[in-house]
Amino acid sequence: MSRVRTRFAPSPTGFIHLGNIRSALYPWAFARSQQGDFILRIEDTDQERSTQAAVDVILEGMEWLGLSHDEGPFYQMQRMERYKQVLAEMQAQGLVYPCYMSVQELDALRERQMANKEKPRYDGTWRPEPGKVLPAVPEGVQPVLRFKNPQGGSVVWDDKVKGRVEFSNDELDDLVIARPDGTPTYNFCVVVDDIDMDITHVIRGDDHVNNTPRQINIFRALGKEPPVYAHLPTVLNELGEKMSKRHGAKPVTWYRDAGFLPDAMVNYLARLGWSHGDDEIFSRAQFLEWFDLDHLGRSAAQFDEAKLRWVNAQHLKALAGEVLAQKVTPYLQQRGLQLDDRLSALCDLLKDRCETLVALADWLERFYGDVPASEAEWQQHITPAIAPAVQALAEKFQAIEWNKAAIAAALKEVLAAHQLKMPQLAMPVRVLVYGIAQTPSVDAMLELSDRKKVLDKLAKV
Ligand code: GLU
């Protein structure tokens, strides 16, 4: 069997979202799992709608997610000469023909067909046939080039997701493959690229299913066997609409900025259309070991942010403190916080309560920065009645060794002396020091805090 070669071929006409990037994840995973190659191709021929900013989101998003490519990025706009060369060859072989039908004539044809309840299609007026007399070539009209689609019979392929798919050739009219100015059209460029790039497996969204029979016919006309196809069902948003920028889908890079972990994203997106038994949480390595095209789902998958957050939380808490420290550092630096060597231990202490790196950074800011309590929490916990106990605690804190056991002992002594229960003292201490009443155990928190800062905060009672 030949070496597996897959590709991701996004059009940079909008910011790539999670639904799009899943169409990168699967071909990437398939190439990796088969020791093959993964190729990135930017389909930028729609010059009006393509933007560099959209290309940047593709490149940044893929890099962030670790979907590395082996070849490319290739830009279709830079391959125009090659397409024109293939067009010329096809013309020389009689595989395409010029069509001079004007837009008005095409419109009129379509209206007639619709009125007759027929499917609108080009009627082959300019298709040369043995013995057929073509209309006179109109003057001053630049023709389009149409592909001579086979007549009769059907196009069949064994889709890795949809199973056997069949289109009758009579449903496919002769596709325009070059515009009057000679520029090639979409379906044609895709085939030339897939041939030149030796693509063995095309894994893409099922919005392309109707293009596939046309592309297969062009492959065969060029003397090539088409690749294996897998058409992935749509990703729906939380409202059940097709995920799209128009429906408010966020760019992939938004999830990076919101503190999601690449491995968790890969895990979540992997499950959005593929399964390995009931496994929900898995590593990237595990995914690559398991991934195959035989377990792709057939029905549309629905994005669920709460589930994504849960998956992220599972990955986050499985990471060692020092790894998390490294990952959360950029988010803390963005906030201008000065960090120190307590960071790893703090990450270990706090990670169980965080769904994202941003949430972890929010917690850490309570240590490295200054996050005031809400008015309501302050009112509730910082009462005149508690002040003497807090002051007594602060006094003890000045003298002890600054470790968890000594802090716990000091707390106990003050509780006994003031006849209080732990929460009655711990809550005000938390509100004073960290600006929040609910935290992990207060002695563990305090141990990792700067004593001077703690004393300054307790003095505010
Ligand atoms: N450029 C197409 C898109 O973004 C994908 C084409 C393909 O995968 O064949 O939808």
Contact 46, 16 (CB under 8 A): no
Among the residues of 335-386, which ranges form H helices? 343-350, 357-368, 375-381
Three-class SS of residue 87? helix
Query: How far is residue 370's CA from residue 380's CA, in Å, rounded to a whole number?
Result: 20
Confidence of residue 256 (pLDDT cuts 50, 70, 90): very high
Q: Does 351 sit in the ligand 1 pocket, CB within 6 Å?
A: no
Query: How far is residue 200's CA from residue 169's CA, in Å, rounded to a whole number?
Result: 24
Residue 435: per-residue pLDDT: 97
Pocket mutation for ligand 1, best pick of 75, 186, 190 (most atoms within 8 Å of C-beta): 190
Index of the ligand 1 atom closest to the CA of residue 190: 9
Domains and CATH numbers, the chain: 5-74+185-236 (3.40.50.620), 82-178 (3.90.800.10), 252-368 (1.10.1160.10), 375-458 (1.10.10.350)
Q: Which residues of 286-295 are buried (b: 16+ CB within 10 A; e: fewer)?
A: ebbebbebee
Going from the Cα of 422 to the center of ligand 1, the distance in angstroms, rounded, reads 61
Q: Does 9 sit in the ligand 1 pocket, CB within 6 Å?
A: yes
Q: Does 315 sit in the ligand 1 pocket, CB within 6 Å?
A: no
> What integer is the mean pLDDT of 229-258?
94
Q: What is the pLDDT of residues 44-68, one digit of tens each?
A: 999 999 999 999 999 999 999 999 9
Residue 248: per-residue pLDDT: 87
The dihedrals phi and psi of 155, each to the nearest 5 degrees, come to -105, 130
Residue 245: per-residue pLDDT: 83
Going from the Cα of 20 to the center of ligand 1, the distance in angstroms, rounded, reads 9
Q: What is the pLDDT of residues 318-369, one digit of tens each?
A: 999 999 999 999 999 999 999 999 999 999 999 999 999 999 999 999 999 9
Q: What is the pLDDT of residues 182-214, one digit of tens each?
A: 999 999 999 999 999 999 999 999 999 999 999
Whether residue 246 has pLDDT greater than 90:
no
Going from the Cα of 186 to the center of ligand 1, the distance in angstroms, rounded, reads 9
Question: If we measure between CA atoms, which residue out of 161, 174, 186 comes closest to residue 76?
Answer: 186
> What length is written for the chain?
461
User: What's the chain's average pLDDT?
Assistant: 96
Going from the Cα of 175 to the center of ligand 1, the distance in angstroms, rounded, reads 18
CB neighbours of residue 327 within 10 Å: 17
pTM (two decimals): 0.94
Q: What is the pLDDT of residues 394-451, one digit of tens each?
A: 999 999 999 999 999 999 999 999 999 999 999 999 999 999 999 999 999 999 999 9
